Amino acid sequence: MNEHANPQTLSARADELEERMMHELGARIATKSVLFRMADGEIAMESGPALRAANPDKYFLMGADPRLPAMPKQPTLIDFFNNRFASLNHLLQSATLAKKNGHSEKVILACLLHDIGVAGFIRCDHGYWGAQMIEPYVDEEVSWAVRTHQALRFFPDTSVGYEYPQMYIDNFGADYKPEPYIVREYERARNHKYYMTSRMICVNDIYSFDPNAKVNLDDFVDIIGRNVRQPEEGLGFDDSPSAHMWRTLMWPTRFL
């Protein structure tokens, strides 16, 4: 359709899209959490009664969203990689580089998982979120490294050739200063026994995406198998302290 023939405001178009998505859902009403709307600069919550009144023949979605790839009953980390993470290249490239550099399986795994917060959940404080998600399933060295790379990446370590990334100057401006909590995290980390594991995430973090690099999740299935405890019930159903995070990722539009 020619856009100019039927000019619509942005919000009218968004409403139309939402309406269409609602129909695609069939018999269920999917709802957006407040956080999803905040990303559009809006603090708003859909009114349950109003949605029900507008769709009297429908119930709210209380499980899987049919618009998203289906997840198996007992999901594994690999299933989340394949069906929920928006981009795998950066993670696979970092892990591939760590493998090529001869690092331990813990470092390779930490590189593979270091940005799952960004790839599948949320950007802000992604190191903390990612570490919390994996904490019950990996060695503490791995989750500590993932959490702490959030801070370490802002501070150079010339002993291993890590400079403050030019990409951060380009992205955040030359005058960007990490917040005090990040500085405190860095200072605490400097003398920690796992400091170098986390530092190696920074060193193997690939800042420029190489579209020609051949990377494959299959290359890491064995390392995942040896180093990630896969709960029998499936990630999200094992009552671990982070099970709810995996469930939320699986069912992001569930009503409650």
Residues lying near Fe ion in the complex (CB under 5 A): 115, 205
Q: What does the alpha-carbon distance between residue 183 and residue 13 come to, in Å, rounded to a whole number?
A: 43
Q: What does the alpha-carbon distance between residue 62 and residue 49 come to, in Å, rounded to a whole number?
A: 16
**Cβ closer to Fe ion: 28 or 126?**
126
**Cβ closer to Fe ion: 115 or 139?**
115
Taking the complex as a whole, the smallest distance from the CB of residue 150 to Fe ion amounts, in Å, to 7
DSSP β-bridge partners for residue 59: 28
Q: Is the dihedral of CA 184, 189, 192, 194 positive or negative?
A: positive
Taking the complex as a whole, the smallest distance from the CB of residue 90 to Fe ion amounts, in Å, to 6
**Cβ closer to Fe ion: 115 or 185?**
115
Angle (deg, nearest 10), helices 105-113 and 89-100: 160
Taking the complex as a whole, the smallest distance from the CB of residue 113 to Fe ion amounts, in Å, to 10
Q: Phi and psi dihedrals of 178, rounded to 5?
A: -60, 150
Q: What does the alpha-carbon distance between residue 229 and residue 209 come to, in Å, rounded to a whole number?
A: 30
Taking the complex as a whole, the smallest distance from the CB of residue 249 to Fe ion amounts, in Å, to 18
**Cβ closer to Fe ion: 59 or 181?**
181
